[in-house]
Structure 1
Amino acid sequence: MGIRLGCIADDFTGATDLANNLVRAGMRAVQLIDVPAEGADGRQPVDADAVVIALKSRTVPAAEAVEASLRALAWLRDAGAEQIYFKYCSTFDSTPAGNIGPVSEALMEALGTGFTIATPAFPDNGRTVFKGHLFVGDVLLADSGMRNHPLTPMTDSNLVSVLDAQTEGEVGLIDHTVVAAGAEAIRARVDELRREGVGIAVADAVSNDDLVRLGAAVRGLPLVTAGSGLAIGLPRNWGFEPSRAAARLPPAGGHAAVVSGSVSVATNRQVQQFLSGGRPAFAVDPLRVAAGEDVVGEALEFAGTRLGDGPVLVYSTEAPDAVRTVQGRLGAAEAGELVERTLAAVARGLVERGVRRLVVAGGETSGAVVRELGVNVLRIGPQIDPGVPWCAAALADGDTLHLALKSGNFGGPGFFTAAFDLPATEAP
């Protein structure tokens, strides 16, 4: 059986989030870090039902995001993927000049299709869409902590409006009354929207049942665009059912550590709970790094004497006001890149010191870490929290590294310790 579903994710944690839901629904999933290189090595068969190519394209200029996504599409089509899934964040991280619309339209053109849907809904993580508006928990997106995101501040909750600002074609809505009526009603609405010239339709979803109905309705679409939630409903289109075997990984071992670069509200809570428990943690000060101080060496020296006592945390996570202060001194882009490089170097040093179970918080940080470690392929394992699975990667020395790449917005307050209580080799 070849690749059934080919997925393009606009960041690294989002890719594992998507793959996690596919595995939970019974598909064996592999995550590739960027598009494989040309040549024999880049065209080797992949033993999986679904392949997710993780890009770092969420916050780059739109033209770069389009180019990378089209390269990923070409690889997936060449590998035999029957349907393409463009995955973005469940909080639709994308300004009016963002990438979701341009990438969606470029993929549609390349696939020769005039229609697709868009729904970032993921009810398991409190992301729902109603009347085209995205909610985070009980509040509208624009009233959530995402309005303070340092790179993609979200100030408009109306996804039809957000997409309309990014696209050349018409944007429509499949509202909840239609979704609740089932797959046949959804397909009828799609036909109606296509006759009206709509190219992309935002689809409401407030429950997993809605996502299952949407999944059945889009079975024949060459392209779907969504957060990770829609993956709950797609695998059954090929006859897959939930299976523990799909999430099985090689055994885990070695020391445990957490590297956190996210500044989200959820990650700030996780850092604070870790600190409140008196556990070992080292704070990275970007201003000290910028001044040329050996912060990486200090962090590794701190961690090195504590790795045998349980997870060690190295973090640059701060509250919004502190982040703005650093950005004001260094510039937003420069501060972000500085932190990413520093934490990636720390992660490499931790692995060299025997860490084999590593949690990384933040999409940009995760991208920097996996590249620094030379990780190209991740096998997706059991879920830790909604949207965050353990993954396995082969190191150059033959050891297995277990990684959890956590979106900044995901996970409960105790995630940084609870992750290591779940054996990464077993499905819960």
Structure 2
Amino acid sequence: MLLGCIGDDFTGSSDLANTLSKQGMRVTQFSGVPQGAADPSVEAGIVALKSRSIPADEAIAQSLKALEWLKAQGCTQFLFKYCSTFDSTPEGNIGPVATALAEALNAEKVVVCPAFPGAGRTLYQGHLFVHDQLLNESGMEHHPLNPMTDADIRRWLARQTQLSVGHVGYEHVRQGATGIAAALDQANASGARLIVVDAVTDTDLIEIGTALDGLPLITGGSGIALGLPENFRRRGLLAGTGNKWTGVAGQSVVLSGSCSTATRGQVARHSQAGLPMFEIKADAAIAGQLEPKHIAQWALKQTKRPLIYSSADPQVVRQVQETYGRERAADAIEGLFGAIARELVAGGIGRLIVAGGETSGAVVESLTIEALEIGPEIAPGVPALLATSRDGDKLALALKSGNFGGPDFFADADSLLSP
């Protein structure tokens, strides 16, 4: 294994897997830290954690455990992957985890770059944009777990770490890899170890990746990985086989626990198409009034792509959190989705489409999936995934971050996951 990656959620990890696979690397995504050694043919291994919104000390412990396993697989470079909207509170967890990894690897010049132009996330003069809006005006300021109220990533990150935060502006990035490398050296010479780097286009990210050849630690969104495979390819270290893909027959079901603007639009499009829907009310889930088996049985009786969803308006989500507490509400809904997923798989479904990072993590953990093969891209940042049980049963999955995908994502995913 060459490149060792640590993802702070499951959808973001599959987003990264998609990027690396498209660039020709042989990629496997692992659900948590594996017990044994990886297949030696794997070139990039991604340990997907559910550490984005847990206490910082737990996120650090899990990330360091993943780092040790990846080091044992022979990795020479490491990537800490987080969301392209830098989802975090002023306390973390991005800063604390990046700091812990930097200390463990004795890494200097640690790039911080959440940019993902393909999904409309760009970083300019240290400020993160979602299309033409500043991050804190894009709807992310209403995120139920990690509200982003400041678009200045330098300022937000500085609140989360004791390490000095530097910046490489776009005037250096547009000079290409040589200019970027020189600017990183200069920022580090000034005392900065965590260095925010601007990026507006995929070409910028490729040049940044070239400049990072040989550095032990990189952090960012999946876009920061665009230029990394070529560094290994230049040294003749890639086999060039990539990943193969075969879809799965059978019934499909959609689970949606995201209240993002994009996902709510996808739920609305599903409704407009007259397809079956089952809404999970937060109050009922918290009160334990919903039986996972009964909900799954409802879905299994439908003839075309039923949707089970809890994608409420942000104001409704806030009211629920104020009434029951954020953690209690999240745990109840995620636990319910995980239990429903188990019942659906036991019922023999072939394809499962999941919207929302926390929901995706709960589903994958509930199904005890150990590893996922990477398939073709459904939408920017969202690949098809294939899980195979010890008995040989296959399940095709799409794990989507809340804000990813177009209005017809559910239909698009179902089509690509099919044989």
| TM-score grouping bracket, smaller chain normalisation | over 0.9
Give, as a single letter, the amino acid of the residue that structure 1 aligns with 2:264: N
- The answer to whether residue 414 in structure 2 is matched with residue 416 in structure 1 is no
Q: State how far apart, in whole Å, the 2-side matches of 1:5 and 1:59 are.
A: 25
Tell me which residue corresponds to 2:342.
348
Structure 1 residues not aligned, in runs of 5+: none
Contact 1:381 1:424 (C-alpha < 8 Å) held by counterparts: no
Residue 130 of structure 1: aligned partner: 124
Task: Select 1:16's aligned residue among 14, 17, 23.
Answer: 14
Q: In the TM superposition, what is the alpha-carbon distance from 1:108 to its structure 2 partner? A: 1.0
TM-score relative to the length of structure 2? 0.96
Residues in 2 aligned to 1:45 and 1:298: alpha-carbon distance in whole angstroms: 39
8 Å CA contact 1:22–1:235 kept in 2: the answer is: yes
* Shift in CA distance, 415/293, structure 1 to aligned 2, threshold 3 Å: same
Instruction: Tell me how far 1:406 sits from its aligned partner.
Output: 0.5
The reply to whether residue 316 of structure 1 matches residue 310 of structure 2 is yes
Q: How does 1:227-306 map to 2 (within 5 A)?
A: 227-239=221-233, 246-306=242-302
CA positional deviation for 1:237 = 0.7
Unaligned 5+ segments in structure 2 are none
- Secondary structure of the equivalent of 2:396? strand
Change (3 A) 1:44 1:90: closer
Q: Which residue of 2 aligns with 1:118?
A: 112
1:97 partner SS: coil
Spell out, residue by residue over 1:141-185, the C-alpha distance to the aligned partner (whole angstroms, 9 max, x if none): 010111000110000000000111111121111111101101111
Code of the aligned partner of 2:401: S
Alpha carbons 1:85, 1:224 under 8 Å: kept: yes
- Residue matched to 2:168: 174
- Cα gap change, 1:44/1:236 in structure 2, threshold over 3 Å: closer, same or farther? closer
**1:323/1:295 Cα in 2 relative to 1: closer, same or farther (>3 Å)?**
farther
Matches within 5 A, 1:12-411: 12-37=10-35, 42-239=36-233, 246-306=242-302, 309-411=303-405
| Distance 1:17-1:190 versus aligned 2 partners, 3 A rule | same
For 2:395, the aligned partner's letter is L
CA contact (8 A) 2:262 2:403 kept: yes
Give the drift of 1:424.
5.7
Query: Which is further off, 396-405 or 3-12?
Result: 396-405
Q: Which amino acid aligns with 2:296?
A: L
What TM-score does the superposition give when structure 1 sets the normalisation length? 0.94
Contact 1:390 1:424 in 2 (8 A): no
Amino acid paired to 1:246: G
Which whole-Å CA distance do the structure 2 matches of 1:46 and 1:261 have between them? 36
Give the alignment's Cα RMSD to 1 decimal: 1.7
Distance across 1 between alignment mates of 2:354 and 2:102: 33
What is the distance in 1 between the residues matched to 2:186 and 2:219? Answer: 19
In 1: Cα distance, 2:164 partner to 2:207 partner: 24
Structure 2 CA distance, aligned partners of 1:244 and 1:325? 51
Mapped contact 1:69–1:103 kept (Cα < 8 A) = yes
